[in-house]
Amino acid sequence: MKNFFKILGISAFVLGVTACAGGKEYLLEKNPPFSIKEAYFQKWVAGVQGGGSGTNLHITLSNIKEDITIEEIYFGDKLAKANKNPQNIDLYTANFLNDTNRDIIMDGDATKEAKNVIPQVSPFSLSEKEAVISYSIKGEMYYYKITNLDEKPILAYPSSNPNGRN
């Protein structure tokens, strides 16, 4: 009986410690090693049915050092990879598709359904005009919140071919 309580106590301790370690703490930096020159988002909608819709986020940085890598951008309740613009190395974009754009495989075969991509969810509580940039310096991750994002007018793509060939 003594061993039973000892094992029970150790099990409870291990479960308690591992449960606490499950949540990751995201500390926001107050003074990042770069400046935000411009930051805005622009919603878009395709002109054809099934073409989808989403939001593109654009962030232009200045004074960014070579050892800093911009990793991901959190916007709303979503997360996307930060894409560096090859023509403008200070510009980063992130593309957020609305959920209706996702291709979901529905099949009786579980192995085919396993190919569905699980949407990545932001751990931050952000308003519509806020975003968080994750960046790394020498392998260590940092987070910076951008507030007061500008919103550009919606971009509505045309429903017909601009060359006149449908």
- Is the per-residue pLDDT at 147 higher than 80? yes
Instruction: Count CB-CB contacts under 10 A for residue 83.
Output: 13
pTM over 0.85, yes/no: no
| 22, two tokens | 């499950």
* Half-sphere exposure (Cβ direction) of 4: Cα atoms closer than 13 Å: 1
Confirm if 150 and 85 have CB atoms less than 8 A apart: no
Among 19-23, 95-99, 108-112, the minimum mean pLDDT is found in 19-23
CATH architecture of 28-156: Sandwich (2.60)
Among 2-16, 116-130, 136-150, the minimum mean pLDDT is found in 2-16
Give the per-residue pLDDT at 9: 56
DSSP state of 99: G
Cα–Cα distance for residue pair 58/150, rounded to 1 Å? 10
